[in-house]
């Protein structure tokens, strides 16, 4: 393949390849704003001393592991989660790696085929108008596949061979790419309403195709669009709180819509969780809020300044902080969707706290307790977990579903504190300390929610409702560890170990900012790292190690768990994680700082090849790889923001994927399969 020397990689924050337009619309220019976390964190040395005093640091403390998730998935009929094939070390990564490139295509290994499963504007609801880029309407958008697909979850339909429900989130709208002649200073009401309808999630039935791994969408009874105006039910300790009451909803229990749904997770009971991430950017006029305490809390969530990027406050007062200061408190949660009932109200779970949730992913222990892990994707923010009080009920019947959909209402929320084993050896260069990057950790209790829905705070000076709504401030108070942008978590169904993508943090070690530590070992970290936790899932202690310190393998500051660096693919900015049926970790990237298109990588975790990293695919120009699903027969990715670049316009698109010719780029879900119909990577 020829590598075209395109000027694609406009630098973002002076480091990664993300374009300014992506920064502006995806995360509200989070990297250009002051870091919201200015709290005084505890230093590692102090924590080590304190844990030692409590006798918590001992060599070789065995973590109790349970791997109930795989069996729960099996109980739900998910034959993709565990085929029973354990394979030899490296099974599932048997493909020729794709080289870094700048193609305007989904580039897959030799011997694989692909197609677009569903595109922005394709009908989700039967009867939806055909997509016409030049004639979009709010009513059409509310029935079509939304913009900027991110998370993808595939749920088998019970008793129906090779039929599934695909649930996809639509993180954000990019108005200058969606509308010809868009005027960012004066958007129209119609553009505002189309943008509302283009957010949220899509639920689409998909069917396998005989003789290949291809999947095609159909109109079925589950098909549904959830948008920024769909009614949600609020649950947990903040439901009905004064902090959530608005003029339109004096009960504080019903919210219209979900925003900036980034990644998520499929629960073993057959629902989908989705993280409301950069919700801050949709609210205008923070600078006019006069209450100093409210302004301080807004600022901790990155909410400041005048007009919002999209000017939604021009059309609906709930987006204007001077008219409705509490509406913003109703976003930033983990939401749960029951895809099996298209009329069910989705839920916002306040017991899991409010922050820029990248996602939430579930692990079920052997006794049926549910653990939900979630990262707060902001530079120097925290990692959390929620442990349920109730046990999951097996099966997918109506009564099990009713019970299981209340599991995230009752339990305990924790935030993570990490210590390094070799603090003295960490100098910010990324130099590997003796024995690798390793350490211990503690989960600090923040909030317990009881059977009556009432919370109990464990944070001095904060009520339970405040901990649920201003969770970042609770984390500050207990001295949680400031991480390099925690994104997706994923638990290995084979071993129970938990993996966390830490995407990057170019402010680490800057003057006045927190310096490197063993879990975040590089100054001005532009390529990110992947953390492996050995967690006593329901307990409060864990150990950790860094699996990967990402970047150009030829660079001294990268680390692949000791695997030969001359034999790995370059990888930068890990974002979403997924497991294949053999226990290999798959990582999709966002904002590759190595001058290539973003990609999807398979990483061997166990055996002599631990750390071996191979690129399976790359996405088209300007795009981000999201939502990976790895089944025995398919690799499914969301291609988010293809063609998004500061040089691109509707009249001069950077990408014409997926329709080719001179068409506009369309965020789409793609499916890849092996030509002979065989197993992926085998």
Q: Would you call 678 helix, strand, or coil by DSSP?
A: coil
CB of 410 to ligand FEO, least distance (A): 28
Binding mask 561-580 for ligand FEO (x = CB under 6 A): --------------x-----
How many other β-carbons are positioned within 10 Å of the β-carbon of residue 256?
Answer: 18
By CB under 6 A, what part of segment 270-289 binds ligand FEO?
277
CB of 383 to ligand FEO, least distance (A): 13
Secondary structure in 3-state letters for 200-233: EEEEEEEEECCCCCCEEEECCCCCEEECCCCEEE
| 488 is a contact residue toward Ca ion (CB under 5 A) | yes
Q: Which of 104, 320, 590, 612 binds Ca ion (CB under 5 A)?
A: 590
| Residue 277 contact partner, candidates ligand FEO, Ca ion, none, CB within 5 to 8 A by sort of partner | ligand FEO
Residue 82 or 575: the one with the smaller Cβ distance to ligand FEO is 575
Please choose, from the candidates 388, 428, 421, the residue with its C-alpha nearest in 3D space to the C-alpha of residue 406: 388
Q: Which of 377, 448, 484, 612 binds ligand FEO (CB under 6 A)?
A: 377
Residue 271 or 329: the one with the smaller Cβ distance to Ca ion is 271
Q: Which of 276, 358, 448, 518 binds ligand FEO (CB under 6 A)?
A: 358
| 262 is a contact residue toward ligand FEO (CB under 6 A) | yes
Residue 528 CA to residue 593 CA, distance in Å, equals: 10
| Residue 76 contact partner, candidates Ca ion, ligand FEO, none, CB within 5 to 8 A by sort of partner | none
Residue 140 or 672: the one with the smaller Cβ distance to Ca ion is 672
Please choose, from the candidates 371, 39, 317, the residue with its C-alpha nearest in 3D space to the C-alpha of residue 308: 317
CB of 651 to ligand FEO, least distance (A): 28
Residue 619 CA to residue 635 CA, distance in Å, equals: 13
| 490 is a contact residue toward ligand FEO (CB under 6 A) | no
How many other β-carbons are positioned within 10 Å of the β-carbon of residue 291?
Answer: 10
Residue 682 CA to residue 679 CA, distance in Å, equals: 6
Q: 344 and 366 in contact (C-beta within 8 Å)?
A: no
* β-bridge mates for residue 540, sequence order: none
Binding mask 262-291 for Ca ion (x = CB under 5 A): x-----------------------------
Q: Which of 24, 104, 122, 171 binds ligand FEO (CB under 6 A)?
A: 171
Sequence-distant (≥ 6) Cβ neighbours of residue 20 within 8 angstroms: 10, 12, 646
| 487 is a contact residue toward ligand FEO (CB under 6 A) | yes
Secondary structure in 3-state letters for 387-442: EEEEECCCCCCHHHHHHHCCHHHCEEEEEEEEEECCHHHCCCECCCCCCCCEEEEE
> What is the helix (H) or strand (E) element at residue 177, kind and residue range?
helix 175-178
| 383 is a contact residue toward ligand FEO (CB under 6 A) | no
Sequence-distant (≥ 6) Cβ neighbours of residue 464 within 8 angstroms: 237, 447, 449, 454, 455, 456, 457
| Residue 488 contact partner, candidates Ca ion, ligand FEO, none, CB within 5 to 8 A by sort of partner | Ca ion
Token pair of 118 as six digits: 């569903």
Residue 665 CA to residue 671 CA, distance in Å, equals: 17
Q: Which of 175, 575, 598, 612 binds Ca ion (CB under 5 A)?
A: 575
CB of 575 to ligand FEO, least distance (A): 6
- Part of the chain binding Ca ion (CB under 5 A), chosen from 46-54, 412-420, 561-569, 572-580: 572-580
- Part of the chain binding Ca ion (CB under 5 A), chosen from 195-203, 516-524, 533-541, 590-598: 590-598
Residue 26 CA to residue 641 CA, distance in Å, equals: 9
| 30 is a contact residue toward ligand FEO (CB under 6 A) | no
Binding mask 502-541 for ligand FEO (x = CB under 6 A): ----------------------------------------
Residue 227 or 504: the one with the smaller Cβ distance to ligand FEO is 504
Chain positions contacting ligand FEO, by CB under 6 A: 171, 262, 277, 358, 377, 487, 575
């Amino acid at each position: 393949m020829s590598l075209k020397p395109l000027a694609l990689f406009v630098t973002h924050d002076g480091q990664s390849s993300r374009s300014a337009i992506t920064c502006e619309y995806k995360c509200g220019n989070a990297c250009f704003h002051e870091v919201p976390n200015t709290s005084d964190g505890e230093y590692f040395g102090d924590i080590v001393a304190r844990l030692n005093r409590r006798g918590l640091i001992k060599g070789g403390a065995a973590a109790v592991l349970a791997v109930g998730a795989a069996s729960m998935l099996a109980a739900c009929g998910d034959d993709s989660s565990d085929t029973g094939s354990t394979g030899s070390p490296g099974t599932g990564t048997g493909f020729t790696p794709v080289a870094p490139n700048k193609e305007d295509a989904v580039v897959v290994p030799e011997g694989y085929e692909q197609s677009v499963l569903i595109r922005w504007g394709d009908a989700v609801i039967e009867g939806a108008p055909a997509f016409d880029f030049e004639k979009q309407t709010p009513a059409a958008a509310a029935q079509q596949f939304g913009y900027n697909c991110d998370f993808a979850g595939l749920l088998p339909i019970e008793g129906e061979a090779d039929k599934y429900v695909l649930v996809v989130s639509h993180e954000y709208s990019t108005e200058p790419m969606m509308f010809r002649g868009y005027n960012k200073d004066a958007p129209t009401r119609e553009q505002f309403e189309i943008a509302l309808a283009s957010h949220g999630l899509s639920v689409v039935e998909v069917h396998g195709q005989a003789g290949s791994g291809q999947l095609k969408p159909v109109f079925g009874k589950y098909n549904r669009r959830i948008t920024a105006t769909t009614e949600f039910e609020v649950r947990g300790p903040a439901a009905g709180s004064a902090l959530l009451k608005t003029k339109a909803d004096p009960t504080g229990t019903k919210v219209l819509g979900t925003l900036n749904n980034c990644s998520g997770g499929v629960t073993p009971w057959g629902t989908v969780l989705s993280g409301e991430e950069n919700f801050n950017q949709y609210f205008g006029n923070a600078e006019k809020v006069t209450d100093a305490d409210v302004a301080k809390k807004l600022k901790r969530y990155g909410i400041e300044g005048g007009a919002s990027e999209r000017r939604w406050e021009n059309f609906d007062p709930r987006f204007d902080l001077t008219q409705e200061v509490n509406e913003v408190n109703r976003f930033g949660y983990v939401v749960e969707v029951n895809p099996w009932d298209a009329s069910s109200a989705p839920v916002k779970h306040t017991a899991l706290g409010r922050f820029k949730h990248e996602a939430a992913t579930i692990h079920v222990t052997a006794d049926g307790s549910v653990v939900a892990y979630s990262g707060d994707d902001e530079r120097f923010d925290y990692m959390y977990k929620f442990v349920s009080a109730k046990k999951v009920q097996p099966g997918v019947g109506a009564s099990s579903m009713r019970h299981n959909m209340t599991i995230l209402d009752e339990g305990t929320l924790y935030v993570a504190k990490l210590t390094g084993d070799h603090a003295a050896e960490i100098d910010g260069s990324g130099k590997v300390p003796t024995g690798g990057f390793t350490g211990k950790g503690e989960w600090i209790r923040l909030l317990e929610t009881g059977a009556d829905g009432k919370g109990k705070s464990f944070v001095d000076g904060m009520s339970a409702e405040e901990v649920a709504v201003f969770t970042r401030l609770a984390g500050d108070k207990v001295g949680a560890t400031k991480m390099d942008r925690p994104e997706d978590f994923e638990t290995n169904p084979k071993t129970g170990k938990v993996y966390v993508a830490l995407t990057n943090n170019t402010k680490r070690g800057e003057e006045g900012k927190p310096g490197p530590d063993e879990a975040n070992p590089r100054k001005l970290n532009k390529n990110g790292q992947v953390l492996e936790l050995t967690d006593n899932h329901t307990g409060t202690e864990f150990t950790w190690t860094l699996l990967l310190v990402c970047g150009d393998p030829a660079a001294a500051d990268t680390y692949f768990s000791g695997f030969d660096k001359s034999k790995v693919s370059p990888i930068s900015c890990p974002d979403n994680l997924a497991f294949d049926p053999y226990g290999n970790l798959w990582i999709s990237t966002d904002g590759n700082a190595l001058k290539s298109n973003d990609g999807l990588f398979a990483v061997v975790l166990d055996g002599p090849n631990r750390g071996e990293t191979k690129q399976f695919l790359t996405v088209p120009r300007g795009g981000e790889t999201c939502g990976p699903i790895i089944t025995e027969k398919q690799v499914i990715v969301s291609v988010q923001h293809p063609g998004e670049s500061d040089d691109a316009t509707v009249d001069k698109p950077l990408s014409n994927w997926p329709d080719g010719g001179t068409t506009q780029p369309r965020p789409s879900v793609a499916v890849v399969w092996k030509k002979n119909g065989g197993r992926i990577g085998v």
